[in-house]
Structure 1
Amino acid sequence: MGICGSVESREIHDAEDCNENVIFLQGNKVSNGALDFCSLYSKQGSKGLNQDAAILHQGYGVEDGALCGVFDGHGKNGHVVSKLVCNHLPSLLLTQKSSLSRINAAVADDDSLQNMVGIDDESMPSKSCHIWKEACISAFKVMDKEIKLQENLDCSCSGTTAVVAIRQGEDLIIANLGDSRAILGTMTKNEVTAVQLTTDLKPGLPCEAERIKNCNGRVAALKQEPHIQRVWLPHEDTPGLAMSRAFGDFVLKDHGIIAIPNVYYHRLTSNDQFIILATDGVWDVLSNDQVAAIVWAAKSEQAAARVVVEAATTAWRKKYPTAKVDDCSVVCLFLQKK
């Protein structure tokens, strides 16, 4: 049976989507859920309300398909935005995919398909994957507009990241917005190696900084945090957003912050073992290889996400003993039975 809601509250979110193949995580303290070959786990940090949300949907799109995603909210209403995106983005993606298919959007030239390759240069995405790419871009735009139209919800300085992985048979499409991250665990010789599937979209990236500056936004770090580049309004020292793309954050939408995802493609092979999505609370303290090793050593698929979060929480206390621990959320989707 799937799990909807949080440990503290068992209300149903989007009941039509809550079936035995779907897990939502949206809670304040510790939330977890598991299906046959996957697991989700989210733990509140010490900054206050847990603003993370996560979803895993088996049987998505096609019978052997799957969708998983993590969403890291920020700002006063970040928890509302991440929950909204978690609940509605999966159905928006399917709607956009269906619409594009009907108008025969599969006709794409080789250059547009090549531009989608972000993992390796050997496997070319199919035309169906091109439709998924366009569906991701379109659905993310629609989602951002829907957030802006929400009554009684101020998202001028609130928003969320999003990283979504869509498996359709051997095709893997990943759409990324912000600084949550997706990695792939793949066998090389006798060990599992981590392959980063996404690029963390932060203001420190030259291409991201250029877009922001061209829109009169400012990119600068605080003196007490020289390693963290932030986005500021042209003539005000606010809001100081530490990512370059996000849903919401409408005060910065005219200054280079966009809700257009980077979309990547990977052709799955028999060596590929699992996909891991996690919010930056995990990646701030654990490397890709550390996370992959923790998942591979987990006792079961159902325990994998929890042990990663517990390892990240422990690492936070050791690495930053005086800092507040960030919320940590993880989705593990296994591609082969352990």
Structure 2
Amino acid sequence: MLSWMGKLVSALWLPLSFYARMNKDDTLDDENDPLLWCKDLEQHAFGEFSFAVVQANEVLEDHSQVEIGRNDTFVGVYDGHGGPEASRYVCDKLFSHLIRIAREEGLISSEVLKNAVSATEDGFLTLVRRTCAIKPLMAAVGSCCLAGLISEGKLYVANMGDSRAVIGRLNGRKSNKIVAEQITEDHNACIDEIREELKQDHPDDPHIVVMKQGVWRIKGIIQVSRTIGDAYLKKPEFAIDPSFPRFHLHESIRRPVLRNNPSMYTRELNADDKFLVFASDGLWEHMTNQQVVEIVHNNPRSGIARRLIKAAMAEAARKSRKKYDDVKKMDQGSRRAVHDDITVAVIFIDQQTNVDVDERSMHGFTNATTPSSFSSLQGVVKGA
């Protein structure tokens, strides 16, 4: 008879469909994984949420936040590349821009969220301009940006890059079948429509997308087509010299190679909408939308974000012909050969619940909780 640990390891080699039907007594031990951080279950104004991050890179490049207001909830997932500076900057600045612009406009709207993202982009490019003389590779640092705001029964989402937001909704009020609805579009050159968009934007550049190492890349360098940062691919003044061949462009750009504006989405939430999943592409690389929502729907709420990360890690380990237990023992940096940094926030939507919560700000991989500035939105029109 297998030992308890033997059963656990065996379970981790089962297909992903197994995780979608785990019962309430099943757990996946992660006590020996110092790179996994989580908040298993917390309150927000409209229900509960679960939040987890696992680090794979030498330096964590995923930054994230959940902001809790008495009548509003904000979620941000920022997947950095080239370094953590851009994703950390977005995490520090985007929400404050949102609050400032909402107060100036006197309302919360999709346009306000869009303008907050644009202000964050402008601010980061200003930072790059000030620092690139002493740190030239700041021009090659960038971040995806996925930001969602729930206010007055509406969901507003801004997206740049290939992090993703998905709704789990019931397939009819008399049904218990959960269905995944992807809210956002992935801005990634591996998608046919994105390559066509790039070619239309750059009709005079036959090398705008290049297959390199088996993957479509923009200018042979980057996969995502919309980002915060990556200044060298947006403005000629930030060109990187040949001493950094990975980021050097042989021809100076005449127009931005990457877009710096987010795709915007607005949706009325209804009684069939049960939860939202916001996650960096480290999750979606290994799991489908439907697999994710089934795991959430069929398991206890507490620790559900952590459960999703572990299911993705188990699948990544299987693909790499490794045991999940061995992956947990790998250090940051070396673990990147198996999986990426992964951030997951699961936001449950209990439509009839508007609980009295303390306004607070929570950042991924940081145990400190600070007051949120949502309170300064008193008098601002919601749901515009």
Judge same fold: TM > 0.5, yes or no: yes
Give the structure 2 partner of residue 106 of structure 1: none
Alpha-carbon distance in 2 for matches of 1:211, 1:71: 27
* 1:231 Cα offset (Å): 1.1
Give the structure 2 partner of residue 157 of structure 1: 140
Q: Does 1:135 align with 2:142?
A: no
- Please give the per-residue CA displacement for 1:150-193, whole angstroms capped at 9, x wherever unaligned: 24364311111011111002111111010000000111121211
Give the structure 1 partner of residue 53 of structure 2: 42
Unmatched 5+ stretches in structure 1 = 1-27, 102-127
Give the structure 2 partner of residue 177 of structure 1: 160
Identity of aligned residues (%): 25
Give the structure 1 partner of residue 339 of structure 2: 325
- Please give the per-residue CA displacement for 1:241-285, whole angstroms capped at 9, x wherever unaligned: 110000000111143312211010111111111110001010011
Q: Does 1:99 align with 2:116?
A: no
Alpha-carbon distance in 2 for matches of 1:191, 1:210: 40
- Please give the per-residue CA displacement for 1:15-67, whole angstroms capped at 9, x wherever unaligned: xxxxxxxxxxxxx922222422012111012x4322101111111xxx32100
Given that 1:133 and 1:263 are in contact with CA atoms closer than 8 Å, whether structure 2 keeps it comes out as yes
Given that 1:175 and 1:261 are in contact with CA atoms closer than 8 Å, whether structure 2 keeps it comes out as yes
Q: Does 1:213 align with 2:202?
A: yes
Give the structure 1 partner of residue 256 of structure 2: 255
Q: Is the alpha carbon distance of 1:50 and 1:215 closer, same or farther for their aligned partners in structure 2, counting shifts above 3 Å?
A: farther
Q: Does 1:294 align with 2:295?
A: yes
- Runs of 4+ in structure 1 deviating by more than 6 angstroms, as ranges, are none
Matches within 5 A, 1:49-64: 49-59=59-69, 63-64=70-71
Q: Is the alpha carbon distance of 1:215 and 1:278 closer, same or farther for their aligned partners in structure 2, counting shifts above 3 Å?
A: farther
Give the structure 2 partner of residue 194 of structure 1: 180
Equivalent position SS for 1:174: strand
Alpha-carbon distance in 1 for matches of 2:89, 2:226: 17
Give the structure 2 partner of residue 279 of structure 1: 280
Q: Which of residues 223, 227, 231 is equivalent to 2:218?
A: 231
- Please give the per-residue CA displacement for 1:187-246, whole angstroms capped at 9, x wherever unaligned: 112121110000001134145323552484711121x31xx32111xxxx5xx1110000
Amino acid at match of 1:285: H
Q: Specify which structure has the bigger relative contact order, considering alpha-carbon pairs within 8 angstroms and separated by 6 or more residues.
A: 2
* 1:74 Cα offset (Å): 0.3
Alpha-carbon distance in 1 for matches of 2:65, 2:202: 34
Give the structure 2 partner of residue 242 of structure 1: 223
Given that 1:157 and 1:249 are in contact with CA atoms closer than 8 Å, whether structure 2 keeps it comes out as yes
Alpha-carbon distance in 1 for matches of 2:257, 2:66: 31
Once superposed, what is the RMSD of the aligned Cα atoms? 2.2
Alpha-carbon distance in 1 for matches of 2:298, 2:95: 30
Unmatched 5+ stretches in structure 2 = 1-33, 235-254, 323-336, 354-384
Given that 1:184 and 1:274 are in contact with CA atoms closer than 8 Å, whether structure 2 keeps it comes out as yes
Give the structure 2 partner of residue 69 of structure 1: 76
Alpha-carbon distance in 2 for matches of 1:274, 1:72: 22
Amino acid at match of 1:164: A
Given that 1:215 and 1:255 are in contact with CA atoms closer than 8 Å, whether structure 2 keeps it comes out as no
- Please give the per-residue CA displacement for 1:69-120, whole angstroms capped at 9, x wherever unaligned: 1110001x2x12111101210111121222233xxxxxxxxxxxxxxxxxxx
Amino acid at match of 2:259: I
Alpha-carbon distance in 2 for matches of 1:231, 1:66: 35
Q: Does 1:80 align with 2:94?
A: no
Equivalent position SS for 2:109: helix
Amino acid at match of 1:221: M
Q: Does 1:32 align with 2:38?
A: yes
Given that 1:55 and 1:86 are in contact with CA atoms closer than 8 Å, whether structure 2 keeps it comes out as yes
* 1:132 Cα offset (Å): 1.9
Given that 2:199 and 2:208 are in contact with CA atoms closer than 8 Å, whether structure 1 keeps it comes out as no
- Please give the per-residue CA displacement for 1:295-329, whole angstroms capped at 9, x wherever unaligned: 122322x3111001011111111124485311111
Amino acid at match of 2:312: A
Q: Is the alpha carbon distance of 1:56 and 1:220 closer, same or farther for their aligned partners in structure 2, counting shifts above 3 Å?
A: same
Given that 1:298 and 1:307 are in contact with CA atoms closer than 8 Å, whether structure 2 keeps it comes out as no
With the length of structure 2 as denominator, give the TM-score of the two structures. Answer: 0.65
Deviation larger for 167-176 or 90-99: 90-99
Count residues in correspondence.
Answer: 267
Alpha-carbon distance in 2 for matches of 1:64, 1:320: 44
Given that 2:280 and 2:344 are in contact with CA atoms closer than 8 Å, whether structure 1 keeps it comes out as yes
* 1:292 Cα offset (Å): 0.6
